[in-house]
């Protein structure tokens, strides 16, 4: 696996792939890789002839009081994992390479509606930062396919709309959530949890499972969500949101069948997200 840090070298190598007629599958990440990321690489291998991963902790998607500085940076370990997983090329630009005018002068991409509420409500400007960096990566790599995790359900919806609205000729592949044995969705931020918090963390998933069962059995939505929120608080979480939306993240109506439960909740300073799809009864 090659690791490249600058744009001209990236373009040269991508040009060689294209000359050979190879289809390019992209896996954008912020590093500190775990089995969830490696599932994206596996999906990328199925969809492309060459896999290009990126590691960039994007300052544009972090709020001023968020964990940009603390975010784990583990490049050597990530390189080993990616090479073993069959990644062909790793692009690891720094901030000056992607945003040469600085963050304030940077042109931004905003995907309306779907970026609002949920994580977009709790993290103002977050999805503009994601949409901007993903657009830059799409323009630089010009992949045939790009893989994103369903753990970041709203992010995946934002990127699908971005690709449609900006006419990027890229197939977006959503990859199912990879969980620990106790159900906790794998996340780089799980590393912030102390042992007690790590023992509590799976109750986010357990609460979503209980709620899904209640909703699929026809329990009323509002009271089920209230019970779920109370359960999270009893477990020690401070919820940002717990919502039921339709599969496209629009409000649920009387005719909605395919729905998704989405939650973000804090355990101490650590913010965890998770979601579960379900089918509402007729």
Ligand X SMILES: Nc1ncnc2c1ncn2[C@@H]1O[C@H](COP(=O)(O)OP(=O)(O)OP(=O)(O)O)[C@@H](O)[C@H]1O
State the nearest-atom distance from the C-beta of 233 to ligand PAF, in Å: 27
Among 4, 28, 37, 61, binds ligand BAL (CB under 6 A): 61
- Let me know if 37 is a catalytic residue: yes
User: What three-state secondary structure class fits 37?
Assistant: helix
**151 or 245, CB closer to ligand PAF?**
151
Residues of this chain, 186-245, that bind ligand X according to CB under 6 A: 186-189
Q: What is the maximum span of the chain, computed from C-alpha positions, in angstroms?
A: 58
Q: Which of 250, 248, 251 is nearest to 222 (CA)?
A: 251
The DSSP bridge partners found for residue 89 are 2, 52
- Piece of the chain touching ligand PAF by CB under 6 A; list 113-121, 130-138, 244-252, 272-280: 130-138
Torsions phi, psi for 225 (to 5 deg): -65, -40
State the nearest-atom distance from the C-beta of 66 to ligand PAF, in Å: 12
CA distance 209 to 59: 34
Tokens 């102390």 found at = 194
Residues of this chain, 18-37, that bind ligand BAL according to CB under 6 A: 30
State the nearest-atom distance from the C-beta of 282 to ligand X, in Å: 31
Task: Show the site string, 2-41: x = touches ligand X by CB under 6 A, - = not.
Answer: ---------------------------xx-----xx-xx-
**189 or 198, CB closer to ligand PAF?**
189
CA distance 95 to 102: 8
Specify whether the backbone of 249 is left (phi greater than 0), alpha (psi in -120 to 50) or beta.
left
- Piece of the chain touching ligand PAF by CB under 6 A; list 25-33, 102-110, 163-171, 229-237: 25-33
Name, in order, each residue with C-beta under 8 angstroms of 68's C-beta and a sequence gap of 6 or more: 57, 59, 62
State the nearest-atom distance from the C-beta of 60 to ligand X, in Å: 14
E strand residue ranges, 49-182: 50-55, 89-91, 145-149, 171-175
Residues of this chain, 226-265, that bind ligand PAF according to CB under 6 A: none
Among 109, 175, 229, 278, binds ligand X (CB under 6 A): 175
Q: Under the criterion CB under 6 A, does residue 152 sit at the interface with ligand BAL? A: yes
**155 or 270, CB closer to ligand BAL?**
155
CA triplet 162, 259, 33: central angle to 5 degrees? 55
User: What three-state secondary structure class fits 33?
Assistant: coil
Q: Give contact residues for ligand BAL (rule: CB under 6 A).
A: 30, 61, 152, 155
Q: Give contact residues for ligand X (rule: CB under 6 A).
A: 29-30, 36-37, 39-40, 148-149, 151-152, 175, 177-178, 185-189
**Which residues are the active-site residues?**
37
């Amino acid at each position: 696996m090659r690791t490249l840090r600058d744009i001209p070298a990236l373009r040269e190598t991508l040009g060689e792939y294209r000359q050979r007629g190879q289809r390019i599958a992209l896996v954008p990440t912020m590093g500190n890789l775990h089995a969830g990321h490696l599932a994206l690489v596996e999906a990328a291998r199925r969809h492309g002839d060459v896999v290009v991963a990126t590691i960039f902790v994007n300052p544009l998607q972090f709020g001023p009081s968020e964990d940009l500085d603390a975010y784990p940076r583990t490049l050597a370990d990530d390189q080993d994992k990616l090479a073993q997983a069959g990644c062909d090329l790793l692009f690891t630009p720094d901030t000056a390479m992607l945003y040469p005018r600085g963050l304030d002068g940077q042109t931004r991409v905003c995907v309306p509606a779907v970026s609002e509420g949920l994580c977009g409500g709790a993290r103002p400007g977050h999805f503009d930062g994601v949409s901007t960096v993903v657009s830059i990566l799409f323009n630089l790599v010009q992949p045939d396919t790009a893989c994103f995790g369903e753990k970041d359900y709203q992010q995946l919806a934002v990127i699908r709309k971005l690709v449609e609205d900006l006419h990027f000729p890229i197939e977006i592949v959503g990859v199912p959530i990879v969980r620990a044995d106790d159900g906790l969705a794998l996340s780089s931020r799980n590393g912030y949890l102390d042992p007690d918090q790590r023992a509590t963390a799976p109750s986010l998933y357990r609460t979503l499972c209980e709620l899904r069962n209640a909703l699929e059995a026809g329990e009323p939505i509002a009271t089920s969500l209230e019970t779920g929120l109370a359960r999270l608080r009893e477990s020690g979480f401070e919820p940002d949101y717990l919502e039921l939306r339709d599969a496209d993240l629009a409000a649920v109506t009387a005719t909605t069948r395919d729905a998704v439960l989405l939650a973000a909740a804090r355990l101490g300073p650590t913010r965890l997200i998770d979601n579960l799809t379900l089918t509402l009864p007729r």
